[in-house]
Amino acid sequence: GQQLNQSPQSMFIQEGEDVSMNCTSSSIFNTWLWYKQDPGEGPVLLIALYKAGELTSNGRLTAQFGITRKDSFLNISASIPSDVGIYFCAGQLLAGANSKLTFGKGITLSVRP
Amino acid sequence: SAVISQKPSRDICQRGTSLTIQCQVDSQVTMMFWYRQQPGQSLTLIATANQGSEATYESGFVIDKFPISRPNLTFSTLTVSNMSPEDSSIYLCSVGQVTGYTFGSGTRLTVV
């Protein structure tokens, strides 16, 4: 089946630093999504990407949909303590609400003050 | 985006018993999904809850173990049947919308 690869499993950065996370797949996805999960909560959608090559920003977050449609990255600039959490990438084969998501294993981000 | 209320938020259950988890959405949605997140792991899709018909289960999940109801476009339940410690997980309801998928806050289940 389809799999999304996220590594490393954990990242440790200093407050104020930028961080980049990558997500790759052996197969094509037509929509890429980035979620953040805080402890005891469900994942919250950060950014959705619908077009190959698309670069989208949401505040300090920037994400890009790879041209090959097999990868995406998420950048967080000027990190702050509340950026701590688990970041999941997710791919969707068909756009819209009727196609299931495939999730990566997630990256746990720690921010040192 | 839709607001999802999921109950209970957590429970500790005896092995061999069953637990029903409820998912209420504040608007009508076509697609509702149930996910499992085992400790320290990613999200795995259990099934798609179809309104008015039987749920569509993913490989490795069966109706006898995880019966699902979807009586209308705003509500669904997932039952975890005949529980064992291996069923200890977070169970999450999700709805699909044009702008992406929204998740409930999850039900943290511990089976002892």
Beta-strand ranges (E) seen in chain B are: 4-7, 10-13, 19-25, 31-37, 43-49, 56-57, 68-72, 75-80, 89-97, 100-103, 107-111
Q: How far apart are CA B27 and CA A66, in angstroms?
A: 34
Instruction: Tell me how close the Cα of A104 comes to any Cα of chain B, in angstroms.
Output: 7
Contact B101 A45 (CB under 8 A): yes
Nearest chain A CA: its distance from B70 CA (Å): 16
pLDDT band at B13, cuts 50/70/90?
Answer: very high
Q: What is the pLDDT along chain A (113 residues), one digit of tens a residue?
A: 567 999 889 999 999 999 999 999 998 999 999 999 998 899 999 999 999 999 999 999 999 999 999 999 999 999 999 999 999 999 988 765 567 789 999 999 999 98
pLDDT in tens, B90-102: 999 999 877 778 9
Q: Of A28-32, B7-11, B73-77, where does mean pLDDT reach its minimum? A: A28-32
**Who has greater pLDDT, B50 or B5?**
B5
Q: Inform me whether the C-beta atom of residue A94 falls under 8 Å from chain B C-beta atoms.
A: no
Quote the minimal CA–CA distance from A69 to chain B in Å: 18
pLDDT at A40: 85
**Is there a contact between B101 and A44 if contact means CB atoms under 8 Å apart?**
no
The dihedral sign for the CA sequence B62, B66, B72, B73: negative
Neighbouring CB atoms inside 10 A of B40's CB total 10
Which pLDDT score, from 0 to 100, does residue A97 have? 54
Q: Report the residue of B42, B89, B95, B110 to disrupt the A interface, i.e. the one with the largest count of A CBs within 10 Å.
A: B42
